[in-house]
Each structure stands twice: as C-alpha cells, then as structure tokens.
Structure 1
Amino acid sequence: MHRRLIAPGALAAASLMLAIPASAASFSPGAPGIGDPYYPDYGNGGYDVSHYDLRLKYQPATDELEGTATLLARTTQDLSRFDLDFLLDVSEVRVNGAKASFTTSGEHELEITPKSPLAKGTSVTVVVRYSGVPSSKQAYGFTSWHRTPDGGVGANEPEAAWWWFPSNDHPLDKATYDVSVLVPDGSQAISNGTLQSTSSRLGWTRWNWRSDKPQATYLATLAVGRFDLTTGTTDGGIPVVNAYSKDLGANAGAARASVERTGEIADWLSGYFGPYPFDALGGYVPNTTTGYALETQTRPFYSPRQFANGSNTSVVVHELAHQWYGDLVSVRGWKDIWINEGFARYAQWLWSEHEDEGTAQELADYVYASHPADDTFWTVRPGDPGPENQFDIAVYDRGALALQALRNEIGDEAFFAVLKGWPQKHAYGNASVADFQRYAEEVSGQPLAGLFDTWLFQPSKPGAPAARGAAIARGAQAPARPKSWKGIAATNDVHAG
C-alpha cells in the first residue's frame, strides 16, 4: 500500500475532477496491444472489427498505394481513444462521419481520437484515407511487403496488414472483407475469397474480391503483378482460382503441376478434417525471392523457390491443411502455434501414406531417431515455443510427432474423430492448446495431461519408456528414411525468408 501526499495547489484540480460526471470520467484509451505475451504491441484493445472494406489504387511501376479503408466495429469499453496497427501515411480519419484527430506512436500504432467519446457497445464506422510506398516502410527492422519486378505482395506471418491496410492485427479479431483494387490494364490484383467482378476504364482495371467468412488479418493478402489465372471447380463444388506470375522462369511448370492439384487435395483433406469451410479456393505464385509459403485464407501464397526441385504437392497439402487448422480455427494466442503447424505437418504425413511413400508411423519413428537427446531440437517446446522459436522446425516435426503419439495412445477411431470434430467445434473462432487437450480427452475418454506434457512441453527428448508407451521407435535398429521425407523436408522453410 502506498500513501501519496497531495500538494495544496492540487486540491482545486482534484475538486474539479470530482465534479466531472462519472459517465464521462469512465472513458479511457483502448490498449495499444490486444494482450498477447509474445507480441505485446500487436492488435489493440477496446473494440472488435466485424468488416473491412478496402478500396485501393496501386501503381506497380512505383509501388505507390492509395487507399480508403472503412472499418465496421463495435466498442468493448468506454473509449476516449483507440489504436489501429498501420505504417502508411494517413491524410484523414473519420469516426462515425466526423473528422477525428490522429497521430502515430511506437513502431506501428495509429492513435485515433474521435470527436466524441464512444460508449461501450457502440457501433462504429472508421474511415481512414492513406497513401504511401509499402516497400519503403519497416517496423522492428523488417518489411512484410515484397516488391516484385511487376508489382508487390503483402503476405507474412504473424504480421502483414500494416503495410497495406489499417487493422486490429491479431487473430483474435477476425472479420469479413471486401477488397477492391484498381491497377493498370495488363496487371492483375489477387486477394482472398471470390472474385466478384472486374471492370476496365481509361487504362485501369478494378478487381473486386470478397471474403464472407471471418478471416484473421495476417491471412488477408494482396498481390499485384502480371499473372496467368486458371479457374475450375472442385468435386465438392468449390470454385478455384489460381494465379501464376508470368515471370516464374524454370519454376513455372513445377509450380503449376503442384498448385493445379489444389482442388483434388482439398477434397482429399476434407475426408480427414470435415467439409471445406470456405466458398473459395486456390493459390498464387508471384515472382518473389522469398522462400516461404503461407496459408493466406482461401488462396495460399507460394514462393517460386518451393518448386525449384520439381513439383511439390506436399507444400500444397501443408497450406491447404491450414485452411482448417489455422484459418477456420485460429490461435487464441501466438503461443498456440502448434495447433497450426503441427497439424499441417501431420497432414503431410497423411499425404505420404496416401501416396504410398511412407506411413505416419514410419515418419514419426524417423523423426524421433534422427535427433539425439542432446540435439537442441528437443529444447523447443511446441506447446509454447516462445516468439523466438515460433516457427522452429521442432514446432513442425516434434509437433507432428506428438500427434502420432496421441494417435497411438487413443487409437485411430478416436484420433480421427478428434481431427474431424475439432474444426467444427471451434469453427470461425479461436482456440488454445489447452482447449485441444480437453477436447481430445472428451472424445477419447482418456486423461492425456501426461502425454501432452511429455511430447509438447518438456524441453527434452522423451525417453525410451515414454516412446515405447506411445509406440514410437520400438525397433532395435534405426528406422529407414521414408521415401516422402525429402519432399516433406523441402517444405521446411515455409516460414523462412
């Protein structure tokens, strides 16, 4: 308990404060972060966004972007001020039609003070007019905007939105999207969801995309360049739009041979994870120099390097598996990344079984045997890896190994019931590793705390008794490398620059 002496000169001010109506005094700024311990300044407090309407104009030759973003939101507290995450130059902000004052702070905060305070539970319309050159902006020493010879691409994890639209940038605040982009004739604008329409006038073409299911901000994407587009429909009736840069060079054939199987793979995955959860599907391969792929909702981003050694259906399986594990059900906090990456990796193991290139059990045995006890691989805890190890290979491979241990513990019937039931239980929402453990216990009827602790949270290699108990690496000899391993390993840099 602390006592504070009030100087006499302050008494008048204190009396004045007491005279302010309680209702007015209750208004306070929204937090500059949503509360994620891995990234304290990501997202914002005080409101929830329900819809983003982004009306943009982009000039590929100069990387200049102009935009008007309209955000529909509802306040979750009495707000005197609130933040958006954004980096470009803002010229005007309006809140419920009235001009609002604004300033910037920190690495990526746009602070907005509305003309009148906003009561809790109020519907709010925020309009932000802005412009800038996304590739010229950095935060924390990096950029998530990829300049290409014929345009630019916004795609990264856990952040990409700041470079092209103002947002509440955390998976906890999902929203629907309309993205309308004006580009010079001859260029294409690729985004999420369904292509609603295109129209051309005076040398410019407008592309209108709609995502009508909740979508996390990091899963929103924009790519402008010169693309070849292909269209089709899955056996399940989902329209597919794929896009390939006209400048992929030697990687063009392998990229198409992989991504054109998107519909087939999505239908196959639905047998394990349940019906495909969105009304659009596809993928795009811009001519970036990056090495990673990303599960941007309904239309994953693939780097050309993913196809440098030939076709790579395994990476397509990985990113499409995320449509259920990561997109439909998103992390509650970034520490829950295992629910995204461990499951997408395990989908690759199931694809290996499907292709008769090695069973999931053989892959689990190989992973376990390939890393000796003193390998730092085992010091990463997939269930809470820390921000510095969020995309470490252990989150993927040890994460999938944990799923095989779970499968062996509860049996195939319960395991595959969990895989299919989990996306439905938390559809279009968020969940944690603890939530998953509880669900697996509920479905299987077994206590699983010990298994989850051993395989996800201990910073050491599970010993032989634990491995034998989970039916991992039971043989006396080192397991042979499964045929699929090389292809799966080729996707190990899916989140590396």
Structure 2
Amino acid sequence: MAKPGAAGRGDPLFPTLGNGGYDVSHYALALDYVPETNHLKGTATITARATQGLSSFNLDLAGLTVRAATVDGRKARFSRKDNELIVTPAKAVGDGHTFKTTVTYDGAARMMKGADGGLEGWIETDDGSTALGQPSGSMTWFPSNNHPSDKATYDITVTVPKDEDGDPYDVVSNGELIKEEDKGDRVTRHWRAEEPMASYLANVSVGYFEIHKGWTSDDLPVYVAIDPDEAEDAEDVKDLVPEVIDWASENFGPYPFSSVGAIVDHLPGLDYALETQTKPYFEEAPEETLLVHELAHQWFGNSVTPRAWKDMWLNEGLATYAEWLWQEDQDGKPAQKTFEEFYEGTHPDSDGIWGFPPADPPSGARVSDAPVYGRGAMVVHKVREAVGDDTFYDILQTWTDRYRHRNADTQMFIALCEEKSGKDLSGVFETWLFNGKKPASI
C-alpha cells in the first residue's frame, strides 16, 4: 500500500535532512543565474527509485519559489513546510519503480548559517557566487534528498550573462566540462559528474577565474580555477594539485574520479575550505597542508562517504592524518611527533580535541569541531602503531577500494582494521575513539 515517504532521513545529528521512501540515482540541474541581481531560475529533473509505495514524498528545498512539479511527466501537486517540498504525484509511485520528478523554481538564492554557525548555501562573492553545502546548504539552490547516504550522479548546466564589456562569467562545477555554448549575450556551460556524489559536495562557482589545465602522471585531467585577486599567492596550486594526487594515489590507492582540480576564489571572511567533489573549494590561496587535506577527502569522504553525520571523523580524521603523512614524507617530520604535539597541547590545532569522543559528536553544531579532526587523526595514528606500516597502508587501500563510491561507517572501519591485522583492536578504539577523556599516557 502506498503511503507518504518520511520527512527526514532520521540522522541522529540532522534528523530533518534527507527523506525516506526513495533513492536518487541522478540529478539534472538546469540553472539560469544573473550575478548582478543574484536571481536564480532552475529546473531540477531527479531520477529516483521508490523503496516503498509512495503516495507522496519530500524533497529538501530552502527558500526559492516552486512554480511547477511533475512526476513521470504528469502534473503533480506540491506544498511547502519549512525546508520541505512535499510532492504528491497524480498516481502513486509503486515500490521499486524508477520515476522522474521535475521541479521548476526561481528566486533570490540565499546563503544560510549552518548548525556550527558557518556560512553555507548560495553565497555571493565580489564577482559572482559559490554554492557550498556542508552539511545542509545544497537545499538553497536545488531540491534534493539532502543526506550523504543517498549519492547520485549529476549533470549541472548553468547559463550566465556576459558583463557590460561583453566578457562572459566563468562557471566551474564538479566533474568535467562537456559543452560550452555562446548564445550571444549569454553563455551556457554543462558540467557532468559521472561518479556518485553526496549532495553536500555539489558546487557551482560563478565569477572571473584564470583557468589552468594539465595532467597528472596517470593522465588524469586537471582543471584549476583561480580568482585573479589570488593569482599571485596561489601560483603554485596548479602544480601542487597533480603532485599531491600522485603522492596520495601511491598511499591511498587509485584516484577515485575521472578528473581533479581546485577552485581558489576570493571570499574573505568565509574562513573554511570545502572538499567539493573533484575540485575542492578554497576561499583564498591555500597553505600546502590544507590543499593536501582537501584533496585527500576525494578518497576519504567523497568516494567513501559516511552513512551518517556522526561518522564524520572518518572523513576528517583520515584527511587530517594525510597532512601528517605528507609532512612526514615531504618535510621529514614524523607523524609520531605531530601526534605527541596534539597530545601535549602544543600543536596550534590541538585546542579542544578532548571535548567529546570523535565518533560521538553531541550535536550537529559540533560535527566540525576539533575532536573530529585532530583526535580523529590520533585514532588513525594509533591504529598504524598497533598494526605496523605494511598492514596500515593495506587497510587504507582496501578501505578506498572496497567502499569506492559507496557509504561506510565506523563499525565497518573497525572491522576492516581487525580483519587485516588479525588483532583485537577494541582497546585502541575504546581508548582513543569512543572515550571522551584524555588518556593518561600514550
């Protein structure tokens, strides 16, 4: 019997994000954006499979005005409640049926404050905008099943005007640029992300960029976009990206996507970078270790994505530990030394790492706090210490291979560590991952 899909995925930290009753396989987003007015028009065509009979279902959408909705080409009724778009198809969707929903919408796209107080959503820059979605901001620019457990492929087509001098705005997004069309006073660019992506990793950046193209040693295309205001300070980024990818591929396994790059924008005051898929976003020229961190996320977080937000330490702990490994390999600073600095509180990023267990953030507002990053990396280091380097790198490469383009959680990581090492590692994880107190010794 058909019934409404759940409004919310039931995530312990963000219960209203995502929705139940269906799984999305593809988003086709056609956007028309005018930077001068920040006005956005969009048509989202969402291909999904029903996991139950659906008399209605929800999509996450904040702000914007919905003009029309169809399901399998037939007009559907819709209503709004808070950040939920409730769609009622003309005919109930059968369990297991693959269906297409098209939503037409428009309005002044907005930014929002995330649970941690940071800015996200559709953020205006001095020459355009950028869309940043962790954890919830994607719903400010397209309707979605906005939870990392439901990954999908994407086609993102954006039309923008030319400026008063006749120069087109640049549009950079995830994946590869497959088509560019000059329409006289406007330009359309079509980007395609062929590998599954969580909604929070989708990005559109509009503005003026210097574009640098290249290749890694494995012939992977590299696309780096740099705001002219950051060009001097970010001069090394175009060369560092392929260098870091080559290094990370040796340590973590084959790169999981069909292209790589970076976006270096000019957005003073944002105060964070984000691992947007295939092209991490930086609000200014990044330090080398930050670039390593966000590129490491392409393996840890983007390809292998957490099932729930409480598993964020798997993203951030492993990406932070990638920084430690880079410093060990490139600068000769042992990861053990960095570990000791965190334990002793002398590392500049060590403040607050004992606030709560990394695998158990007390609320969504704390999901990006220091324990998830620094203490998460300490957990990874203690695993390395317990199993030895050969087994440790086998664990990392098996993790990225076994769960490539999939979702995984903390218990799956623990099970893999014990499988590969043949050891009971419960003491390590209990002391460093699940215990909220600082261990008495290292």
* TM-score range for the pair, normalised by the shorter chain length: over 0.9
Does residue 1:256 correspond to 2:232, yes or no? no
Quote the offset at 1:72 in angstroms.
0.6
What residue number does 1:180 align with? Answer: 157
3-state SS in 1 of match to 2:232? helix
In the alignment, is the contact (CA less than 8 A) between 2:120 and 2:133 conserved in 1? no
Provide structure 2 residue ranges, at least 5 long, that are not aligned to the other structure: 163-167
Q: What amino acid is the match of 2:275?
A: E
- Partner amino acid, structure 2, of 1:73: A
Match of 1:338 in 2: 313
Measured in 2, the distance between the counterparts of 1:413 and 1:103 equals 56
Equivalent position amino acid for 2:263 in 1: Y
Aligned partners of 1:97, 1:410: CA distance in 2, in Å?
56
Measured against aligned partners, the alpha-carbon deviations of 1:312-356 in whole angstroms (never above 9, x if no partner) come to 111110001000000110001000001100000000001101222
Q: Does 1:396 align with 2:373?
A: yes
Say yes or no: does 1:266 pair with 2:245: yes
Q: Deviation string for 1:40-92 (max 9, x for gaps)?
A: 00000000110011111110111111111101111000111100001221100
Among 282, 297, 302, the residue aligned to 1:302: 282
1:177-205 CA-to-partner distances (Å, cap 9, x unmatched) read 11111112320111000110111012111
Decide whether the 8 Å contact of 1:228 with 1:244 is kept in 2.
Answer: yes
Q: Deviations 1:377-434 (Å, cap 9, x if unpaired)? A: 3132111223232111121111111111111111111111101110111111111111
Equivalent residue for 2:131, pick from 145, 154, 157: 154
Counterpart residue number, 2:92: 117
| Aligned length in residues | 429
User: What is the TM-score of this pair, normalised by structure 2?
Assistant: 0.94
Checking the alignment, whether the CA contact within 8 Å between 1:135 and 1:143 is kept in structure 2 is: no
Give the structure 1 partner of residue 17 of structure 2.
42
Aligned to 2:425: 448
Q: Distance in 2 between matches of 1:35 and 1:219?
A: 20
Name 1:105's counterpart in structure 2: 81
- The separation in 2 between residues aligned to 1:184 and 1:238, in whole angstroms, is 31
- Name the SS of the counterpart of 1:254 in structure 2: coil
**Kept in 2: contact 1:380–1:389 (CA 8 A):** no
Whichever residue aligns with residue 333 of structure 2, its letter is: G
Asked whether the 8 Å contact 1:49–1:74 carries over to 2, the reply is yes
Amino acid at match of 2:176: T
Q: Which amino acid aligns with 2:232?
A: G
Partner of 1:192: 174
CA distance in 2, matches of 1:92, 1:260: 46
Residue number among 349, 354, 366 corresponding to 1:378 in the alignment = 354
* TM-fit CA distance, 1:252: 2.7
Kept in 1, the 8 Å contact 2:30–2:158? The answer is: yes
Cα distance in 1 for residues equivalent to 2:235 and 2:191: 23
Query: 2:165: which partner in 1?
Result: none
- 1:279 and 2:258 correspond: yes
Instruction: Determine which of 6, 11, 32 is the counterpart of 1:57.
Output: 32
**Residues 232 and 371 (structure 1), Cα distance of their counterparts in 2 relative to 1, 3 Å cut:** closer
Residue in structure 2 matching 1:211, options 193, 196, 200: 193
Identity of aligned residues (%): 41
CA distance in 1 between partners of 2:247 and 2:172 (Å): 25
Kept in 2, the 8 Å contact 1:96–1:125? The answer is: yes
Instruction: Tell me the CA shift for residue 259 of structure 1.
Output: 4.8
Secondary structure of the equivalent of 2:254? coil
The one-letter code of the counterpart of 1:436 is F
Distance in 1 between residues matched to 2:104 and 2:353, nearest whole Å: 46
Judged with a 3 Å threshold, the aligned counterparts in structure 2 of structure 1 residues 417 and 355 are, in CA distance, closer, same or farther, namely same
Does residue 427 (structure 1) correspond to residue 407 (structure 2)? The answer is no
Task: Compare CA radii of gyration and give the structure with the larger one.
Answer: 1
TM-score by length of 1: 0.84
In structure 2, what is the Cα distance between the partners aligned to 1:261 and 1:137? 32
Would the alpha carbon gap of residues 438 and 138 (structure 1) be closer, same or farther in structure 2, given more than 3 Å must change? closer
RMSD: 1.7
The one-character-per-residue Cα deviations of 1:137-184 (angstroms, maximum 9, x if unpaired) are 778796522111211110131122111111100111100011111112
Give runs of aligned pairs for residues 304-319 of structure 1, distance below 5 A: 304=284, 307=286, 312-319=287-294
Which deviates further from its counterpart, 317-326 or 376-385?
A: 376-385
Tell me, in whole angstroms, the C-alpha distance in 2 between the residues paired with 1:174 and 1:156: 14
Residues 383 and 456, structure 1, Cα contact 8 Å, conserved in 2: yes
Q: Distance in 1 between matches of 2:282 and 2:248?
A: 19
Structure 2 equivalent of residue 291 of structure 1: 271
Gaps of 5+ in 1: 1-25, 468-497
Letter in 2 for 1:233: W
Q: Is the 8 A contact 2:27 2:45 kept in 1?
A: yes
2:324 is the counterpart of 1:349: yes
Please give the alpha-carbon distance, in whole angstroms, between the structure 1 residues aligned to 2:30 and 2:90: 24
3-state SS of paired residue (1:169): coil
How far apart are 1:371 and its partner, in Å? 6.8
2:114, 2:136 within 8 Å by CA — same for their partners in 1?
A: no
* Residues 369 and 133 (structure 1), Cα distance of their counterparts in 2 relative to 1, 3 Å cut: same
Q: What does the per-residue CA deviation read over 1:451-471, in whole Å, with 9 as the maximum and x for residues that have no partner?
A: 10100111101112xx1xxxx
Q: In structure 2, how many angstroms separate the alpha carbons of the residues matched to 1:323 and 1:32?
A: 30
Name the CA shift for 1:428/1:139 in 2 (closer, same or farther; >3 Å).
closer
Equivalent position to 2:57, from 68, 82, 101: 82
The separation in 1 between residues aligned to 2:89 and 2:360, in whole angstroms, is 38
SS at match of 2:353: helix
Distance in 2, matches of 1:39 and 1:269, equals 32
Asked if the contact 1:371–1:377 (Cα under 8 Å) also holds between the matched residues in 2, the reply is no
Indicate the SS of the match to 2:236: helix
